[in-house]
Amino acid sequence: MRQGFIEVAGNRYDLTHMRGPSFELAIAATPRYPALMLRIEVEFTSHCVSFGPKEGEALDFDTLGHERLILDHRDVPRAFCFDRYRWSLSLPEQVRTLDGHYCNFTGQGNWLVIRAIDDQGVAVDYEIYFRLRRHDDNTLRMVIESAYVRTPGSPGPGIPHDRKGRIRFQVMAAKVARGEPLRDPSHQHRR
């Protein structure tokens, strides 16, 4: 990721689209809070363009090709994924347009946005997992941990059916900027 490209089988795949984009997010005033203008600084991990081994297995780079080896931020071997790479080209623009979208609680301390996008006329679930943290007074840091099209029938959260477990991105950003906790309303306990 730092070098800005990867070469696989003689082809160079540009990764500069994943280098620290940022965008402005306007939060409208409410009766309780004044308007707010936030800067969102975005970081992408290598998981947006690579896949890891299935649980209990290892990746076979003799079969996959050693040039596809990517070490993630924890030095775990992963393989460059042509499909994830292709979808990653749209990630910066998708992230910039999150302001009107809902994000889903995953229960893992991160958020999931599912977008039905495709270039072939087929509906797919493109899942974007991220964390959002306050950086300073008017800046938030967003780390896109992973993004991929979920294969039908594969395990994972999939499309949430409980609309209570979601929050609008603008509401989430405003709460994070104000230092307020984010609570999953679908997991509220009765006393």
CB 5 within 8 A of CB 15: yes
**Which is higher by pLDDT, 79 or 183?**
79
Number of Cα atoms under 13 Å in the Cβ half of residue 101: 14
Mean pLDDT of the chain: 85
pLDDT single digits (tens) 60-81? 999 999 999 988 888 889 999 9
- pLDDT for residue 120 is more than 80: no
- pLDDT for residue 155 is more than 70: no
Helix/strand/coil percentages in the chain, nearest 5: 25, 35, 40
At residue 191, the pLDDT reads 43
Strand partners, 128: 113, 147
pLDDT single digits (tens) 87-108? 999 889 888 888 888 888 887 7
Number of Cα atoms under 13 Å in the Cβ half of residue 121: 0
At residue 144, the pLDDT reads 93
Which of the four pLDDT bands, split at 50, 70 and 90, describes residue 164? low
Which of the four pLDDT bands, split at 50, 70 and 90, describes residue 154? low
Residue 10 region by backbone torsions, left for phi larger than 0, else alpha for psi between -120 and 50, else beta: left
What radius of gyration do the chain's Cα atoms show? Answer: 18
Give pTM, 2 decimals.
0.85
- pLDDT for residue 190 is more than 80: no
Q: What does the alpha-carbon distance between residue 82 and residue 101 come to, in Å, rounded to a whole number?
A: 27
Q: What does the alpha-carbon distance between residue 33 and residue 36 come to, in Å, rounded to a whole number?
A: 9
